[in-house]
Amino acid sequence: MSKDVEVRVLSAAHFLLNYFMWLLLFLFFAKPVFAQESPDLYTQYRNDYLYQRDQYQQFYDDYLNKKDIYTKYASVTAEKDKILAAKNVFLSQNIMLKSYLMTLRTILQESPDNQAEIQKYENWLSTQNQLIPSLNTTASVKAWSTTFEKQYIAIQTTLYTGLVQSQINRRLKTLDEIKKLADQAGVEWSSSFSLKQGEINKYFELAIDACHQNQRRDQFSNFYPEAKKYLDSADTNMKSLIADLKSFIIKNNN
Amino acid sequence: MEEKLYQNIDPPQNNPLDIKKPETNEVNEETKKPINKKYLLLIILGSVTFVLLLIAIIVTQTRKSNTSKQEIIPTPSKTMDNPVINDSLIPSPYQEAFQQLDQSFSQDPDLPAPQIDIKVGQ
């Protein structure tokens, strides 16, 4: 009897040992999936953001409706409805902003500083969503809205800076690809290439400088169009670089 | 009536006894003197130089007025328009790589920034 038990225990132990070994082997060969590295994650987060944007729009429309009713009747019930509608707008706008920042973070793998900055505001928005349910008076709603208005300037600065940085990163990758292709084709990176590369990098610096311009305390000054203008100039130079490379390769092969 | 003394005084030019050589003769005598050849040469050279100077001034002015009427052609500058290159001329091993590079310009994230009414609740 005791032998049977012993055999069963041993076979169970053997089974478990095998099971964990296979599990460890599987885990060893499994490729770690980093959130920021998956291109599908970007699509997933982007879709979520677009959904949250629609949600925000609905809550905002509802708020405008409740606000109109309160303006007409000024009743206690209308005021309560208006406060509730405003709270819903706050919650949905914070969720929407957070989903936007998360999406942006997925395309900023090469810029950990930007990612950290974005993460900071994601956390701030999450914290605020825990506070919003406790807003029960018109005064407290107004106070929170004023606080958010000030903070939103910083959020927008981070958001647009991240957007510009992601576009610079994409262009730097393209520039690397151009260099690799030139090496592969045996084309020497001549002084004219270096000159154009220098011009491109200058435009990137100008775009980053545009992002760092001082903001007013009460109003956000949108620097994105200016930065985008520099990025477009960088694109023109890069296209010229590609055209030069094409010409070199065609000439060398004829 | 008292006679005035000056009435009987003949002015010198009316006095037939006072014969003087006419002044014009003196002048003619002076002009008849031969001009020094050196001065003549100097005058000729001076007048030629003056005429040439006048011609030079006139020509310069004419040229200036002509050039100002012409359209100002801008200094040739480096064009940013890229030449159109027939991609079929690119050797086949590189065609795909170039296609990817060309496509990369339309790969900026399509992520429209959120629009928020920050005056809600105020």
The alpha carbon dihedral of B53, B58, B61, B63 has a sign of negative
Q: Does A204 touch chain B (CB under 8 A)?
A: no
Q: Does A243 touch chain B (CB under 8 A)?
A: yes
Q: Are A244 and A192 in contact (CB under 8 A)?
A: yes
* d(CA A246, nearest CA chain B) in Å: 7
Q: Are A246 and B85 in contact (CB under 8 A)?
A: yes
Q: What is the mean pLDDT of chain A?
A: 87
Domain boundary among A103, A136, A169: A136
How far, in Å, CA of A91 to CA of A87, rounded? Answer: 6
Q: Which domain range does residue A98 map to? A: 36-136
Q: Does B28 touch chain A (CB under 8 A)?
A: no
| Stretch among A240-249, B71-80, B88-97 having the lowest mean pLDDT | B71-80
Per residue in B49-76, pLDDT tens? 999 999 999 999 988 876 655 555 555 4
Per-residue confidence (pLDDT) for residue B45, from 0 to 100: 94
Same domain flag for A49 and A88: yes
Same domain flag for A132 and A158: no
Q: Is residue A142 part of a domain?
A: no
Q: Is residue A74 part of a domain?
A: yes
* Residues in chain A within 8 Å Cβ distance of B121: 86, 89-90, 141-142, 144-145
Same domain flag for A101 and A181: no
Q: How far is CA A228 from CA A36, A102, A173, A245, in A?
A: 24, 22, 18, 25
Q: Is residue A241 part of a domain?
A: yes
Same domain flag for A181 and A102: no
Nearest one of B76, B63, B98, B16 to A177, comparing CA atoms: B98
Q: Is residue A52 part of a domain?
A: yes
How far, in Å, CA of A162 to CA of A160, rounded? Answer: 5
Q: Is residue A145 part of a domain?
A: no
Q: How far is CA A113 from CA A22, A118, A158, A161, B79, in A?
A: 39, 9, 11, 11, 37
Per-residue confidence (pLDDT) for residue A32, from 0 to 100: 40
How far, in Å, CA of B84 to CA of B73, rounded? Answer: 26
Same domain flag for A125 and A165: no
Per-residue confidence (pLDDT) for residue A24, from 0 to 100: 44
Same domain flag for A128 and A181: no
Q: How far is CA B63 from the centre of its chain?
A: 7
* Residues in chain B within 8 Å Cβ distance of A240: 80, 82
Q: Is the per-residue pLDDT at B17 higher than 70? A: no
How far, in Å, CA of A90 to CA of A84, rounded? Answer: 10
Q: Is residue A20 part of a domain?
A: no
Mean pLDDT to the nearest integer, A71-100:
96
Instruction: Find where tokens 């349910």 sit.
Output: A133
Nearest one of A253, A160, A175 to A213, comparing CA atoms: A160
Q: Are A220 and A153 in contact (CB under 8 A)?
A: yes
How far, in Å, CA of B74 to CA of B111, rounded? Answer: 42
Q: Does B121 touch chain A (CB under 8 A)?
A: yes
| Stretch among B9-18, B61-70, B99-108 having the lowest mean pLDDT | B9-18
Domain boundary among A136, A163, A181: A136
How far, in Å, CA of A230 to CA of A242, rounded? Answer: 18
Instruction: Please give the structure tokens belonging to residue A243.
Output: 């055209």
Nearest one of A238, A219, A161 to B107, comparing CA atoms: A238
Mean pLDDT to the nearest integer, A17-23:
51
Q: Is residue A204 part of a domain?
A: yes
Q: Is residue A5 part of a domain?
A: no
* Residues in chain A within 8 Å Cβ distance of B101: 174, 177-178, 181, 242
Structural domains in chain A (count): 2
Q: Are A178 and A245 in contact (CB under 8 A)?
A: yes
Instruction: Please give the structure tokens belonging to residue A96.
Output: 């929407």
* d(CA A199, nearest CA chain B) in Å: 13
Q: Are A192 and A184 in contact (CB under 8 A)?
A: no
The larger pLDDT score, comparing residue A25 to residue A103, is at: A103
Q: How far is CA A67 from the centre of its chain?
A: 33
